[in-house]
């Protein structure tokens, strides 16, 4: 669904810290910290993952999934 690297990259593009992302997602700071500390695809509660994806999308982030049309291939993020 989303990787830890995508979450970190999206935050960097938005210029926000983990606390701000947690507030936008209505999740706890430790939840965001655990997600970003994951290796590869973030594992966790589907509701929490959905909140992160929705908050990032609402903030103007487009998530690029594995195999999606992208010049360089692979997963990533970009501003809409």
pLDDT single digits (tens) 3-31 = 999 999 999 999 999 999 999 999 999 99
Residue 64: enclosing H or E segment and its boundaries?
Answer: strand 61-64
52/31 Cα distance (integer angstroms)? 10
29/63 Cα distance (integer angstroms)? 22
Which pLDDT band holds residue 72 (cuts at 50, 70, 90)? low
CATH number of the domain within which 35 lies? 1.10.260.40
| Domain that includes residue 74, residue range | 4-79
pLDDT at 69: 55
Domain count for the chain: 1
Percent of the chain residues topping a pLDDT of 70: 88
């Amino acid at each position: 669904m989303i990787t830890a690297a995508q979450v970190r990259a999206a935050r960097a593009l938005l210029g926000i810290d983990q606390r701000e992302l947690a507030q936008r997602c209505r999740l706890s700071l430790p939840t965001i910290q655990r997600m970003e500390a994951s290796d590869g695809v973030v594992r966790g509660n589907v509701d929490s993952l959905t909140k992160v994806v929705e908050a990032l999308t609402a903030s103007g982030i487009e998530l690029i999934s594995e195999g999606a049309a992208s010049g360089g291939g692979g997963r990533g993020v970009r501003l809409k």
